[in-house]
């Protein structure tokens, strides 16, 4: 299993390519359906609630692993949004995820634009507005 760690003083997030069968025990993970490969999630209050739930898990001391097919597209987008929710600027969040992943992220210009729009709605934390992009 190849984990790419994002570490701050307060929490740890891992990004990884899709795990091989048998790498996880059923009790270790919670499956959350996300966006199609090379796309962006639906911009809705539910996405903001999802990020808030992950944020609460981090504050509770849990370690989060996010995965997608290659570990550079959707998982990086979610990790960057979570870092933004923690109060980080978007460019800082992208740089931190890129350094951990060891390659350019996210995978598409649309994903980068989406992350910037998320930042515009959520900073300064914790004043995240209901998230809906039109």
CATH of 4-17+40-122, one of 3.40.980.10, 3.90.190.10, 1.20.1270.360, 1.20.120.1760: 3.90.190.10
The 3 state secondary structure assigned to 68-108 is ECCCCCHHHHHHHHHHHHCCCCHHHHHHHHHHHHCCCCCCC
Q: pTM value?
A: 0.76
pLDDT for the residue 117: 87
Pairwise CA distance, residues 85 & 109, whole Å: 21
Give Cα separations from 102 to 39, 115, 132 (angstroms): 21, 19, 31
Pairwise CA distance, residues 129 & 119, whole Å: 10
What is the tens place of the pLDDT at every residue in 17-53? Answer: 765 555 554 555 555 556 666 667 766 677 788 888 8
Residues forming a β-bridge with 66 = 15
């Amino acid at each position: 299993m190849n984990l790419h760690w994002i570490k701050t003083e307060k929490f740890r997030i891992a990004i990884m390519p899709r795990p091989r069968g048998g790498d996880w025990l059923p009790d270790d993970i919670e499956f959350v359906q996300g966006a199609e490969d090379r796309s962006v999630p639906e911009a809705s209050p539910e996405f903001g609630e999802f990020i808030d739930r992950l944020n609460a898990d981090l504050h509770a001391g849990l370690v989060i692993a996010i995965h997608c097919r290659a570990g550079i597209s959707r998982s990086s987008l979610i990790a960057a949004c979570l870092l933004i929710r923690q109060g980080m600027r978007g460019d800082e969040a992208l740089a931190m995820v890129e350094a951990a992943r060891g390659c350019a992220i996210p995978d598409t210009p649309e994903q980068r634009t989406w992350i910037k729009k998320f930042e515009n709605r959520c900073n300064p934390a914790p004043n995240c507005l209901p998230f809906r992009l039109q």
